[in-house]
C-alpha cells in the first residue's frame, strides 16, 4: 500500500530564517506531488505541483520554492521566512487520478 | 467568483440525523469531484469521489453530482459525534489542479 511521510509535524522559525520541509511517498512510482498551504480557517491553496523529477509548476508567486530531486521526494524551501508564511503545509500525491492523499502536515509558525 | 463554493457553517445536527452539505463550482469542464473530511488540527482525508451524474453511496455517505447545475453534495446518514469535522469539497479539471472549497464545519450533537 502507498504511504506518504511528511516532516516535521510542527516548526517554529524566526523571521528571516530558511525553511526546508520534506515529503516522501512509498509504494508507488511516478506520482504527481503537491504542496498546499492552509491558513487558519481557510481552504487549501495550491503552492506547487510536480508531475516528474525536476518538473515543478508554481501556482502562486511568493517567498517559497519547491524541488523534486527524486521520483518520490518533494521538498518545499524558503531562503528567508516572512511572518505571512505561517500556516499548515500539506504535501499530497496522486497517481494521475486526481484522488489526492495527504501527508500529516507541518504546522509552521514564523515568529 | 470563487472556483468552488461551500457554506461555511457551522452545520449543527443531532445524533442520528442526516447532515446535508452542498458545493457549487464554476468550471463547466470539471470532471472529478471529491469530498474530504478534516478533523481539527489534522490533514484532510479522502472519503468520497464521484465522476458521473447521480448518486454514489459508500456506507453512511452519499455523494450526489449534477453537472448541469454545477452542484455536488454530500449526505451523511445516521450522523455520529465522530462525524464532527470540516468537510472540504474538491474539484478537478483537465489540468493537475484540485480546487478546494473553504469547507463546511459539521457539529453532531449527542
> Could you identify the residue written with the cell 487558519?
A40
Check residue B1 and give its pLDDT. 60
Tens of pLDDT along chain A (111 residues) come to 889 999 999 999 999 999 999 999 999 989 999 999 998 777 899 999 999 999 999 888 678 999 999 999 999 999 999 999 999 999 999 988 889 999 999 999 999
Alpha-carbon gap: A104 to the closest alpha carbon of chain B (Å):
5
Coil, helix or strand at residue A64 = coil
Residues β-bridged to residue A6 = A23
B33–chain A nearest CA distance, Å: 9
Residues of chain A contacting residue B42, judged by C-beta atoms under 8 Å apart: 104-105
Average pLDDT, chain B: 94
Span B57-83, pLDDT tens digits: 999 999 999 999 999 999 999 999 999
Q: What is the 3-state secondary structure (H, E, C) of chain B?
A: CCCEEECCCCEEEECCCCEEEEEEECCCCCCEEEEEEECCCCCCEEEEEECCCEEEEECCEEEEEECCCCEEEEEECCCCHHHCEEEEEEEECCCCCEEECCCEEEEEEC
Among A49, A57, A105, select the one facing B43 at the smallest CB separation: A105
> Residue B85: pLDDT band by 50, 70, 90 thresholds?
very high
How much is the pLDDT for A107? Answer: 96
pLDDT at B93: 81
Across the interface, which of B32, B46, B97 has its CB nearest the CB of A46? B97
CA-based R_g, chain A, Å: 13
The pLDDT of residue A75: 97
pLDDT digits (tens, 9 = 90+) for B21-47: 999 999 998 999 999 999 999 999 999
State whether A100 and B98 contact (CB < 8 Å).
yes
For B102, the closest of A43, A51, A102 (CB atoms) is: A43
Taking one residue from A and the other from B, the number of pairs with CB-CB distance under 8 angstroms is: 45
Contact at CB, A46 and B88, closer than 8 angstroms: no
DSSP letters of A14-57?
-TT--EEEEEEEES-SS-EEEEEEE-TT--EEEEEEEEETTEEE
Least confident of B38-52, B73-87, B91-105: B91-105
A56 to chain B: closest CA residue: B96
A48 close contact with B: CB closer than 8 A: no
Residues of B in contact with A105 (CB under 8 A): 42-43
Amino acid at each position: 500500500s502507498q504511504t506518504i511521510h511528511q516532516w516535521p509535524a510542527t516548526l517554529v522559525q524566526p523571521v528571516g530564517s530558511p525553511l526546508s520541509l520534506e515529503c516522501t511517498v512509498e509504494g508507488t512510482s511516478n506520482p504527481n506531488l503537491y504542496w498546499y498551504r492552509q491558513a487558519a480557517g481557510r481552504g487549501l491553496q495550491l503552492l506547487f505541483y510536480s508531475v516528474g523529477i525536476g518538473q515543478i509548476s508554481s501556482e502562486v508567486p511568493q517567498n517559497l520554492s519547491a524541488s523534486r530531486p527524486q521520483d518520490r521526494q518533494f521538498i518545499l524551501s524558503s531562503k528567508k521566512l516572512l511572518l505571512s508564511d505561517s500556516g499548515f503545509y500539506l504535501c499530497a500525491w496522486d497517481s494521475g487520478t486526481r484522488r489526492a492523499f495527504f501527508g500529516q502536515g507541518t504546522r509552521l509558525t514564523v515568529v | 467568483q470563487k472556483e468552488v463554493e461551500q457554506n461555511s457553517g457551522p452545520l449543527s445536527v443531532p445524533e442520528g440525523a442526516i447532515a446535508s452539505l452542498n458545493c457549487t463550482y464554476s468550471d463547466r469542464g470539471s470532471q472529478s469531484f471529491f469530498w474530504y473530511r478534516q478533523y481539527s488540527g489534522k490533514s484532510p482525508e479522502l472519503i468520497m469521489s464521484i465522476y458521473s451524474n447521480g448518486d454514489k453511496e459508500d456506507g453512511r455517505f452519499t455523494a450526489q453530482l449534477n453537472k448541469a447545475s454545477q452542484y455536488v453534495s454530500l449526505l451523511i446518514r445516521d450522523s455520529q459525534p465522530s462525524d464532527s469535522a470540516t468537510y472540504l469539497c474538491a474539484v478537478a479539471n483537465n489540468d493537475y489542479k484540485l480546487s478546494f472549497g473553504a469547507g463546511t464545519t459539521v457539529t453532531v450533537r449527542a
